[in-house]
Structure 1
């Protein structure tokens, strides 16, 4: 393996920079995103590497904090800040794994489980007292190139990582053509301005917000803490034992059936969103599988990530590069989750939509002020969890695949995958599928995953991906 430090073309002065409250309380994990290209690279490998590295340098010119490190700020409150060193840059790794064949991956639809961290993801893979915001690795496989980049979740959510990917692609494409990206194509300064996310002084406590309501200690809490600490430390092998990944797809036809099955029970009620219906389906069947696995569940919470870019005042641009995520919370008793009533799925979806819509600009402003005044902030976005679910839907990851050009040498992205260190048992990502419909990636206890794979009611909606 070789590496090179890619520096911006415009040097960045050394120093420190503050991060927003929504950055401060985010779970401090490294988020590896993986882009897979089909290319016979033997004749133009040097050109591919040059395009990627020059394109990355110009990307850092636009998004300077990519070259920073995440370091401690206040030890007592466990806050963080960004540090820029003299001659800072992004480490770019180059690796060969010829035993992996693009055609073999494509034949199995690029299964998430095959995109292993040890092969494709650069170090570091866990948070420490000095962790780079970004590292990159280009892995040359037989018939293709796998480009992985580690974004630190403490300063970038999945939407922001998608924006970075599109920006990098723009500059790689320009370099491939022997050009520079036009000034009109550059990101607006607003995309780096998180001023809307700084709240004022507030007397509200974190426990005043629905996701953080006081909860009694549960027996599964210690296991959930082990999952969280393994994710923060980047212990992917341990996570594979605790919460192995399972990959599912719900086809367009199955989605249509689901929408008809969970249609409003009367004309005066609203139609539920596609994501809410899928989330309700996941909530219901995962809870049932947990019960079958011998886990007693009296009640369960469904936590949803809420993109607040368009909910704050003033609004943030969709391309805002930072964390702009809060959690909503819907609760249901086991009787509701086990119900076979025709309207039960609609009712669960309605709870989810209501919980998301609770977040107004004023409440987000109060939350950020509360975080700013909290005695400890590290990983506080995640409440005390038991046998619950957390569902995220990072749509810009799909945009990165469908709307970016990477130059004639690399061609279009054939698949986007990620090696996310899930930080709880019950973490789920819903992603648009390149085949239509949606892909569902779940991290749950092994016994629960096995029971889902045998559940005929679940399998009438979901197809397992190899």
Structure 2
């Protein structure tokens, strides 16, 4: 089984496929290449004519899973406003958001007669608020959803019923909405269920949509640069000779793979994944003080200009601890055994050009590799593990991004390009960090959201780092972070009984 690890939002997609060796990767230069251009050289403001034209997706969009990023639930405390007033403000704010970013109310589907086979697009005409927003009152039908009680229990994931709090797209339809939102009134608060189609954008794109919506709900104006933020021609590359062989994070599906149907329009048919194993999902908390101690420990023995980030240290702890939990007999690890960690990176932080306002996918996939014995060593070798992670991240630069875009754009059928996290099966581990989605929705709605949750993590080997998770007096003490982890039940039990892991991470909820 090849496990295709995707962003960012940790949405993992698995397919039963044979191992795909590097030798079988395609490196065909068949189509015009792409180039990154900043806002100054490729600005474009949406007009009435643009509203009648489909928005073609770019190379990094087309390799994303062709369905919605894992839906999220934002928990917002109650205000003194009536439900009617809150709904009026939410709808008005979303209407202004659609005006600033019309494609938010569009639908994603396979492009007709694209330059590159298998490309996706956002269809027109774009819709309105009522097409993407719904609301319901759960105060009587779901009395167990009491905000104060949920907060006391750290907002458990099990309280988020995906069949209740989300408005989800019909998986059987060829066209799926770009964005969907549902307001759920519960006792003492509001749960805002949201989801975004991954072919349209990544986690940063979702954050931009929510920021704009919240800004408009506060009575402020949307940023003027948003009208050009979705233009895919801003992300193009003049690199030549780039081949998919250069990027082990990507692979292609051979034509003769069982289940691949060349006769089906690319992107039209629903993807059917195998039944996943039993997965336990838990949330752990690391205080600011423990994070500092963790970074100090992982920074030991650094020389010269070497450095690691707090994120590197946390990733090292997770990689080591989860690997130990998965290996019942550490002493049996063969010398040549290796493990791979996938860390999605936001290319906006790497590019020199102004891409901060770009609303599309700019996620690059980075695989860090280390011998299994390094992860299982006792005492834990966090400094060495953290350095391995930092070195793997440091190799991703602007030239790498441009060549990756060119390589993806050179494949004849982009629908057959997958993010391969390697062929390492059940040893796969992905650690992604969600941007801070705690927006201030204004006093009418209830102010800043206090938590972000999902229903569950559907696949084992997925970790999500959530910043600013501990509310309180932020001016006197920095916040810690939460980490959502999904593992097989037995592995999770061993992780929770690991004294080294428990010395940094406190169990919160499931």
Secondary structure in structure 1 of the residue aligned to 2:367: strand
Deviation at 1:73, TM superposition (A): 2.0
Task: Name the CA shift for 1:196/1:246 in 2 (closer, same or farther; >3 Å).
Answer: same
Distance in 2, matches of 1:286 and 1:357, equals 24
Question: What's the CA shift string for 1:355-412, capped at 9, x where partnerless?
Answer: 11111111111111111122443462343442121111123xx2x31xx432322121
- Call closer, same or farther: CA 1:202–1:446 in 2, change over 3 Å: farther
Counterpart for residue 30 of structure 2: none
* Displacement after TM superposition at 1:190 (Å): 5.0
Distance 1:421 1:28 in 2: 20
Partner of 2:364: 326
**2:57·2:119 contact (CA, 8 Å) conserved in 1?**
no
Structure 2 residue aligned with 1:95, among 136, 142, 154? 136
Structure richer in helix, relative to its length: 1
- Checking the alignment, whether the CA contact within 8 Å between 2:100 and 2:226 is kept in structure 1 is no
Cα distance change on mapping 1:287 and 1:376 into 2, 3 Å: farther
The alignment status of 1:254 with 2:290, answered yes or no, reads yes
Q: Residue 340 of structure 1 corresponds to which residue in structure 2?
A: 378
Is the contact between residue 159 and residue 455 of structure 2 (CA under 8 Å) also seen in structure 1?
A: no
1:425 corresponds in structure 2 to 460
Which residue pairs with 1:78 in the alignment? 118
Which runs of 5 or more structure 1 residues have no equivalent in the other structure?
Answer: 1-9, 175-180, 215-231
Distance across 1 between alignment mates of 2:296 and 2:238: 45
Aligned residue for 1:207, secondary structure, equals: helix
Q: Does 1:450 align with 2:493?
A: yes
Tell me whether 1:136 sits opposite 2:177 in the alignment.
no
Contact kept in structure 1, 2:178 and 2:197, CA below 8 Å: yes
Which residue is 1:438 aligned to?
481
- 1:274 maps to which residue? 310
The aligned residue for residue 308 of structure 1 is: 347
What TM-score comes out, normalization by structure 1 length? 0.82
What is aligned with 1:225? Answer: none
Aligned CA distance change for structure 1 residues 235 and 243 (closer, same or farther; 3 Å)? farther
Distance 1:121 1:30, change over 3 A: same
The count of residues paired between Structure 1 and Structure 2 equals 425
Label 1:87 to 1:278 Cα distance change in 2 as closer, same or farther (>3 A). Answer: closer
In structure 2, distance between residues paired with 1:274 and 1:442: 18
Deviation at 1:45, TM superposition (A): 1.1
Secondary structure at the counterpart of residue 110 of structure 1: coil
Counterparts of 1:111-260 in structure 2, within 5 Å, are 111-124=156-169, 126=171, 128-174=173-219, 181-182=220-221, 185-189=223-227, 191-200=229-238, 202-212=240-250, 242-260=278-296
Unaligned runs of 5+ residues in structure 2 are: 1-47, 253-269, 471-478
- Once the two structures are overlaid, the 10-residue window that deviates more, 364-373 or 413-422, is 413-422
* Deviations 1:75-107, CA, capped at 9 Å, x for gaps: 994321110136555421112222111111111
1:23 alignment partner, one of 57, 61, 82: 61
For 1:220-259, what per-residue CA distance to the aligned partner results, in whole angstroms no more than 9, with x for missing partners? xxxxxxxxxxxx86999x65x5433221111122212212
How far off its partner does 1:423 sit?
7.2
Determine the structure 2 residue equivalent to 1:222. Answer: none
Match of 2:16 in 1: none
SS at match of 2:348: coil
Preserved CA contact (<8 Å) 2:248 2:422: no
Rate the CA distance shift 1:293–1:320 in 2: closer, same or farther, 3 A.
Answer: farther
User: In angstroms, what is the RMSD of aligned CA positions?
Assistant: 3.1
- 8 Å contact 2:440–2:449 — kept in the other structure? no
Distance 2:442 2:241 in 1: 53
Give the corresponding residue for 2:255.
none
Which deviates more from structure 2 when the two are superposed, residues 59-68 or residues 78-87? 78-87
Aligned to 1:353: 390
- 8 Å CA contact 1:125–1:234 kept in 2: the answer is no
8 Å contact from structure 1 (residues 37, 412) kept in 2 = yes
Residue 269 of structure 1 deviates from its aligned partner by: 5.0
Q: Is the 8 A contact 2:167 2:182 kept in 1?
A: yes
Tell me, yes or no, if the aligned pair for 2:342 and 2:421 is still in contact at 8 Å. Answer: no
Match of 1:3 in 2: none
Cα contact 2:290–2:504 (8 A) shared by 1: yes
- Structure 1's 86 and 351: CA in aligned 2 closer, same or farther, altered over 3 A? closer
Q: CA deviation at 1:210?
A: 4.1
User: Counterpart of 1:292 in 2: which secondary structure?
Assistant: coil
Does the CA contact (< 8 Å) of 2:158 and 2:456 recur in 1?
A: no
Distance 1:420 1:304, change over 3 A: farther
Q: Which residue does the alignment assign to 2:151?
A: 106
SS of the equivalent of 1:409 reads coil
Equivalent pair of 1:287/1:337 in contact (CA under 8 Å): yes
Q: Is the 8 A contact 2:294 2:313 kept in 1?
A: yes
SS of the equivalent of 1:246 reads strand
The answer on whether the counterparts of 2:106 and 2:126 sit within 8 Å (CA) in structure 1 is: no
Contact 1:38 1:411 (8 Å CA) reproduced: yes
